[in-house]
Amino acid sequence: MLAIDLTGKRALVAGVSDDGGFGFAIAKALAEAGASVCVGSWPPALGIFQKLLERGKMDDSMTLSSGRKLEFERIYPLDAAYDTMDDVPDDVRESKRYKEQGDFTIAGLTARIRDDFGERGLDVVVHSLANGPEVKSPLVDTSRKGYLAAVSVSAYSNVSLVRHLAPLMRPGGNFLSLTYMAGERVIPGYGGGMSSAKAALEADTRTLAYEAGRRWGVRVNAISAGPWASRAASAIGFIDTMITYCEANAPLPRRLDASEVGGTAAFLASPLAAAITGSVVYVDNGYHAMGMAVPPPAAG
């Protein structure tokens, strides 16, 4: 039997603060395959996330198919808008949700992982990070500040993670990010520069696959997932419409399940995908293949 086996591998999933998003589904799938899993969580949400875990509020979603409970090896504070503490504004440093967290930047995360697991203690890094402060605004109405914020957190942070964490990876290491169809086709309402950020993320995936592959021997891929009603995606404001539309028009006319994205991530992280790099893999019930909407059924 050909099985996905990640026993002995360590993964970091950056961007997990609840059990409702693709990041959590990927973390769970990696654990199902035998990997130990660390997560990076946004400091303003970290306290609530930890309390939910401590009080057993997520026990049902944390239960694996074997019956054992998913346990995160480490939970790190991470705000991927900042590479080093020198980049952090004073008001953020002094915020009550940040100032007790130590170094929550990408460089700080890297130092903590090195301290915890040594120079070569990492195998998989998943970028499940996105932020578009003006996502409800049409692109043409998006401010420079809002646009750059979207690209910074949603795309450039992946470049920074590769640069900082690839040197900590063991042979066969790989990076994975999450993108969306809006990076290559128009999704009206998906604004604020987020479409541009996803396009950059996909272009960077190809370039990073070459550069990081040659320099460190790691793989870099992305999953283009169909719409999913995570708490973060709800900020878009019309996520239910997106889901219903894709369900009606995809070759497989059904709703996507986050576990399907998790399963694809586990495959891409495994030795079974050792020759796959620089790829954007669609997990959207085939919606990306459609060139025209399916006509609605005739009345009556």
Q: Which of 82, 147, 180, 282 is catalytic?
A: 180
Q: At what angle do helices 194-216 and 157-165 cross, to 10 degrees?
A: 20
Q: Identify the helix (H) or strand (E) that includes residue 91.
A: helix 90-93
β-bridge mates for residue 282, sequence order: 224
Measured CA to CA, the distance from residue 42 to residue 115 in angstroms comes to: 21
180 is catalytic: yes
* 82 has catalytic annotation: no
Nearest CA to 126 out of 53, 226, 37, 8 is that of: 37
Contact 129, 176 (CB under 8 A): no
Cα 256 to Cα 180: distance, rounded to the nearest angstrom: 13
Partners of 212 in the beta sheet? none
Catalytic member of 82, 147, 190, 287: 190
Instruction: List, by residue number, the catalytic residues.
Output: 180, 190
